[in-house]
Amino acid sequence: MRTILINEAMMPSRGCYQYTPISIIEFVETLNWAIQEPGFKSFVGYPTQKIVEELVGRPVPSQGREKVSLNQNQVTIILIIKEKAAGIHGTRKEDYEFGCCEFTPWP
């Protein structure tokens, strides 16, 4: 199984996304576990990458914003800016909500 980290703008594949909100503590625990797994990739760019690294207390290997493909049965950890329309730009951890997502591709 491969685990990746994305933000909501990076949901690139056609299919069904089942999103489950998680606490910031669950996010940090899941991410710390995932970073140690083979095949982990982060597709989160700056400044979000900096916030993620501050939360977990260590560098997080990043692929930047290159195109990502999703697979069924993979763990996807997501950061969502809470009120993007209100002018929040995601520069503080308080600007985000956290979640996990299961993806099922459409035929």
Return the CATH number at 66.
3.40.50.11170
Q: Residue 103: what pLDDT?
A: 81
Token pair 């329309």 in the structure block, residue? 85
Q: Residue 87: what pLDDT?
A: 61
What's the Rg (C-alpha) of the chain?
Answer: 13
Identify whether the C-beta of residue 7 lies closer than 8 Å to the C-beta of residue 79. yes
Mean confidence (pLDDT) of the chain: 79
Domain region containing 63: 3-105
Q: Quick check: 23 pLDDT over 90? A: yes
Q: Residue 29: what pLDDT?
A: 93
Average pLDDT over residues 3-28: 78
User: How many independent structural domains does the chain possess?
Assistant: 1
Q: Residue 22: what pLDDT?
A: 94
Q: Residue 86: what pLDDT?
A: 61
DSSP letter for 17, please. Answer: E
Number of alpha carbons in the 13 Å side-chain half-sphere of residue 66: 7
